[in-house]
């Protein structure tokens, strides 16, 4: 890697050295021709002197104004002895020579100046192009962020509307459900000797309990309590959630691999009970998706200003068509699901300033990431 980084610099140094040597050789050859052909007429030397424009212009284009000025001065010093000792020159020829020397220096400086201006303009253009690219990239990021925020606003509006509806519906269901439960219990007491009736009553009571739990979920979704925040290490919350989920893991013969990291030591300011509910909902979803056997991975996650955890299962994954709707209330792909698990998680995280993301893994399964702001 280091050799690759130094390679452009080495090439530039080699190119600079080559150009300097080439310019010096050309000027030396032209000067040598002047001095070794002393016997020729002045017109020959004047024509030969035009060749000095080549190294001067090249030096100016390669090294800017400094190259043009220095090469012009060097040529002036090289040709000056010839001009002062060549006796065949008449006054007009001497005048022409001095004008020629002056033009060489002026053209050297002018070419270098124009080259410098061009390079500065090119640098400004490159800087402007870089800034433009950064602005386009920033605008794209802002557009994506705006779309995400708009989607969250729509999600919140849907949750609010459905929450009000669920609260009213849950209350309307709970009252007759309580009456039905008491009536079934009384009927079971009266027909205790009738096995068929007792069995029917048992099934009805179980269904009443299931409906009561479903109504409780609706109410917790519709009217979530305000979080009672406290500072607590993230690892402690995860350990408590893992302890609560152990019976379900054993029932489905699933192994939970929990990776320890420094993220576990980070403190977050959250309602511990609500965060346990988040952990349980995510892990239960992973268990339901995985079915029997296999491994579920629990690991820490971290972003700028956020810490959290990620749960990865080995289930079939989520279809691309269903992915945009997984946080919507009552949307579920399970036969007996309520479709409120991830909606409740989304609402709790909104109250805590956190965020949730889900994506299909490359091999199989889903990875769900929960992030909370650092305390």
Q: What is the mean pLDDT of residues 334-350?
A: 76
Same domain for 246 and 330: yes
341 and 292 in a single domain? The answer is yes
Domain extent, residue 306, equals 230-373
Q: Which one is predicted more confidently, 298 or 179?
A: 298
What does the mean pLDDT of the chain come to? 81
Render pLDDT for 200-245 as a digit per residue (tens, 0 to 9).
888 888 888 877 777 776 666 666 667 788 888 988 989 888 888 8
Tell me which of 222, 251, 280 is where a domain ends.
222
Quote the DSSP letter at residue 314.
-
239 and 211 within one domain: no
CATH (domain of 273):
3.30.565.10
- For residues 177 and 275, membership in a common domain is answered with no
Assess whether 206 and 310 both reside in one domain: no
111 and 57 in a common domain: yes
**pLDDT at residue 368, as a whole number:** 92
Has residue 141 been placed in a domain? no
Please tell me the distance from the alpha carbon of residue 278 to that of residue 285, in angstroms, as a whole number. 11
pLDDT computed for residue 86 by the predictor: 59
What's the rounded mean pLDDT across residues 49-62? 85
Residue 217 lies in a domain: yes
Higher pLDDT, 128 or 44: 128
Packed helices 272-290 and 341-352: angle between N→C axes, nearest 10 degrees:
150
DSSP letter at 270 equals E
Choose one of 177, 205, 222: the last residue of a domain: 222
Better pLDDT: 172 or 367: 367
Number of structural domains in the chain: 3
| 1, pLDDT greater than 60 | no
Decide: pTM greater than 0.95. no
Local structure of residue 374 (DSSP, 8 states):
B
Question: Residues 50, 62: contact at Cβ < 8 Å?
Answer: no
Residue 36 lies in a domain: yes
Query: What single string gives the DSSP state of each residue in 130-162?
Result: HHHHHHHHHHHHHHHHHHHHHHHHHHHHHHHHH
Of the two residues 78 and 254, the one the predictor is more confident about is 254
Where helices occur in the chain by DSSP H, the ranges are 2-36, 42-49, 53-85, 91-190, 195-222, 234-251, 272-290, 341-352
CA-nearest of 306, 300, 308, 289 to 364 is 289
191, 268: one domain: no
269 and 334 within one domain: yes
In a domain, 273, yes or no: yes
Last residue of a domain, one of 136, 168, 198: 136
Reading the block at residue 121, the tokens are: 């303009």
Q: How far apart are alpha carbons 131 and 101 in whole angstroms?
A: 45
Please indicate, yes or no, whether residues 271 and 360 belong to a single structural domain of this protein. Answer: yes
With 50 as the cut, is the pLDDT of residue 199 above it? yes
Beta bridge partners of 359: 367
Q: Please say if the pLDDT value at position 80 is more than 60.
A: yes
Domain for residue 38, yes or no? yes
Burial class (CB in 10 A: 0-12, 13-18, 19+), 96: middle
Top mean-pLDDT range of 21-35, 90-104, 331-345: 21-35
Shared-domain flag, residues 164 and 248: no
């Amino acid at each position: 890697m280091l050799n690759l980084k130094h390679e452009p610099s080495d090439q530039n140094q080699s190119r600079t050295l080559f150009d300097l040597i080439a310019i010096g050789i050309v000027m030396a050859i032209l000067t040598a021709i002047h001095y070794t052909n002393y016997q020729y007429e002045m017109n020959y030397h004047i024509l030969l002197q035009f060749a000095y424009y080549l190294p001067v212009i090249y030096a100016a284009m390669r090294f800017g104004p400094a190259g043009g000025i220095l090469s012009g001065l060097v040529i002036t010093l090289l040709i000056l002895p010839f001009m002062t000792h060549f006796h065949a020159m008449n006054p007009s020829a001497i005048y022409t020579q001095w004008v020629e020397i002056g033009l060489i220096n002026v053209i050297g400086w002018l070419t270098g100046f124009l080259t410098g201006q061009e390079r500065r303009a090119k640098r400004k253009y490159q800087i402007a192009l870089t800034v433009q690219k950064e602005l386009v990239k920033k605008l794209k990021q802002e557009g994506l962020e705006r779309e995400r925020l708009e989607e969250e606003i729509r999600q919140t509006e849907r949750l609010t509307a459905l929450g009000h509806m669920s609260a009213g519906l849950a209350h309307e269901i709970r009252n007759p459900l309580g009456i039905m439960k008491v009536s079934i219990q009384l009927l079971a007491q009266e027909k205790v000797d009738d096995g068929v009736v007792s069995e029917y009553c048992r099934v009805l009571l179980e269904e009443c309990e299931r409906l009561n739990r479903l109504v409780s979920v609706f109410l917790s979704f519709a009217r979530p309590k305000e979080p009672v925040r406290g500072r607590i290490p993230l690892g402690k919350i995860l350990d408590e959630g893992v302890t609560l989920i152990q019976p379900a893991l054993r029932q489905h013969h699933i192994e939970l691999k929990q990776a320890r990291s420094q993220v576990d030591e980070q403190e977050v300011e959250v309602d511990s009970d609500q965060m346990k509910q988040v952990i349980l909902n995510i892990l239960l979803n992973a268990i339901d998706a995985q079915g029997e056997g296999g491994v579920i991975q629990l690991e820490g996650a971290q972003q700028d200003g956020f810490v959290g955890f990620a749960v990865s299962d080995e289930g079939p994954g989520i279809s691309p068509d269903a992915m945009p709707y997984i946080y919507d209330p009552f949307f579920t792909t399970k036969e007996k699901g309520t479709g409120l698990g991830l909606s409740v998680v989304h609402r709790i995280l909104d109250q805590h300033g956190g965020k949730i993301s889900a994506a299909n893994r490359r091999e199989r399964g889903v990875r769900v990431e929960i992030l909370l702001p650092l305390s």
